[in-house]
Structure 1
Amino acid sequence: MKKITWRGMSIATVILVALIYVLPTLANNCWPHKKINLGLDLQGGMHLVLEVQTEKAVETTIERTIHEIKQELRKKNIKHLGVSHNSDNSISIQVQNQADLESVNPVIADEFGNFEVSSTQKQGEKRTVVLKLPHAEVVNIKKMATDQALETIRNRIDAFGVSEPDIRLQGENRIQVQLPGIQETQRAKELIGRTARLNFQLVDETGDVKSAETSSPPPGDEILYQIQEDPVTGATSKVPYLIQKRVLLDGSSLTDAKVMIDSQFNEPYVSIEFDRKGARIFEQITGENIKKRLAIVLDKTVYSAPVIQDRIAGGQARITGNFTTEEARDLAIVLRAGALPAPVNIIEERTVGPTLGADSIRMGLLSMVAGGILVIIFMVIYYKGAGVIADIALLVNILLIGGGLAAFQATLTLPGIAGIILTIGMAVDANVIIFERIREELASGKTPAASINAGFDRAALTILDANVTTLIAAVVLFQFGTGPVKGFAVTLGLGIVASLFTALVLSKSIFQSMVSGKKTATLSI
């Protein structure tokens, strides 16, 4: 009796926990407030395929290397006539004579060993050395750019608050994004596709902005614009700035970005914090450029260009720009997640409406209910009282699958519903094996109690073998499958575990409670 009592309490606990997790899906505001997540095919949402412009990542690497070469040559007092970026993504370094070239070569070998010297050209006394990235290095940069873009987009979407997004690589430079249940599709696209490259650059106040607009900016400068909105009319205008190309500090040193409210103007702004190195550089920049304007540039747009009044220590700054709270929050998200290493283009976009999702749910549930009812009727007709026990186990099985989906916050998809329907058949199959063994034992003349024990003992190994091999297949499908296949694998795996519990533990306990302590001569099976 102790064994039965403890077993009964364990079964009741498992069923109660499953019921608690399923309840929020059936009724709102129930603890633990975790509904079963529905996939894109059930609740609607957005499907995107993004293409990472990996060539831009290579170009960015070249531009950064050019800046580093100039710094190294300046540091070692080596004169040069220019370091330029060629159309084939090679770098040309021009020097005055052979002696200067011999000074440049050790710098290239020591500091830029990942580049190879493709040629050395002569033009009178002048010498030009051409550096090129090896093919393997170009391939690696492109792969790293795609991997980093994937991680950055995943971080942005996680911060945005989408439940169970599906984000994965597709081919060499494409990323598939599925966002179930999302309503603000345009805002999500802007958040995902924003490059978010943050730079701090000085404003060139010695040059003439108007003449630079009409002709060309002075060497080392560029024209960037700030978007300003009239608070009364809502009209926007572009204010030009002459900005020095040299980037003093970029967003790679950021450790945090959060939305704050300005107490004076009651407007949101984004407060940013730098790491130790970034804080030291920022303090140095502000200390060396007092009374100059420092532009905060995000994706080639000037957000603000305040005058530096004093050295700023502590590694904190703010980005203002007449934001709404929503805009400030999205900006903080992309800054925290980091800049994309290369721009991304949306090459495929599909929006699945909630109507299609509702139809899918209705048809899926209808097929599940219809299949379940047919199985229940068959079991009662063929196995009589034992069939009723099998049907109780079947209903508990479905409850346990639902509780598992909610507890693990797995996503239920249309193929997942197919997995539940398959599980219904498999759960009954386990009971069929057991019942046939019990019938064999009864036919040999054993008592009902002995037949039940022998039937479960003889069937247990067969059931375990069949279910464990199917569980292995489900694990493989989950590990290597895509979204819909994973949804099927999740419900199949949960169903197998639930089937083992209901067939070998629950059904046996009900049978034993029926014959325990009673002199029963017959068994309805």
Structure 2
Amino acid sequence: MTTPLRNRITRLIAAFATVFAIALPSATLGADTQFDKMRAKIAAFVADKMEKLGGSRIVYKVDTDGLRAAAVTDLRDDVYKTLREGRIAFSGLAIRDGGVDVKIADAKGREQLTRKLGSAAEGLPAHAFTVTDGGDGLIRLAPTDAASAERLRDLVEDSVAMIEQRLKDAGVKLASVQVDGPDRIRIFLPGVMEAEHVTAIFARKVKVGFRLIDLSMSAEQAQSGAPPAGTEVLLGFKDRLPYLVARDSALEGDDISYAGPGFTSDTKEPIASFRFNGRGTRRFAHITAENVGKPFAIVLDDKVISAPVIREPITGGSGQIAGNFTLEEANSVAMLLRAGSLPGRLGLVEQQVVQPATKP
């Protein structure tokens, strides 16, 4: 069973368990059969409740044009970063007609660029790209159709996870979140007759920030007295310990292009890994270079997830977040990192209140 499918089935089991208990399908059934049967049972149960109780039906659509534009912008930033780091002479770097154009007179420079970009995208299907020779040193790079489809699937999957988590946080016990086609998500909420209150939950943006930690006084002193100007005390995600951090983020989560769970290579401890786009990579390199030896806080929704010390400038554009996580917690942190800009990628298509069926 693939990990994404396992995650979907796990969420379906959890969602179904909130309404009534079921027996899990036989282990001899295929993963697809399990998923389809669970989805059908949940849909049928919720449809029955919608008919009896009435409720809200909400439909969201992913902004596919914005998603592709963001992918092309990320590719342009990666091209620029690779050219600068490799000291490759170039001109005319620009986004044009859904791709990235750049002119490199030296054939070795063109080969070096495509090789390094290809190596960075290896193992990341959503970052695959094509290279077209335009002649006279001009090359054109563009995300492949398969990469665009992969990004769309990832975004829809993340959106479903975000919607389910926020419904759970809001205390909604009975709901069904269903993928409808490649880019739409339908939400059924039996008994909920004020749909606008639910859509307001999804409109809230997850706040992801990288903030410097203030060492001018202890967090405990700041709690009992007055914290320095421009700072505030936040609590840790797991340890609930206080941290004195800058109010303003040195870097926002909008520049995170990838995040996922993983394990450390030595202790096999669950972690959340992340990667910045080109703009975020440059900013993160600058921040870490200026603050070597100092701690900084990775903050999600005003909770400190991790507070590592910057050992050296981080120029590669990627990092890891460790915090004595379980694998489930590491996956949740990664999902929240990805979800920072999700509300801006979802458009409300339909918001309808369904009245209960009239009794005969």
TM-score after normalising by structure 2: 0.49
- Higher-Rg member (1/2): 1
TM-score after normalising by structure 1: 0.36
Q: Which has the higher helix share?
A: 1
Higher RCO (C-alpha 8 Å, min separation 6):
2
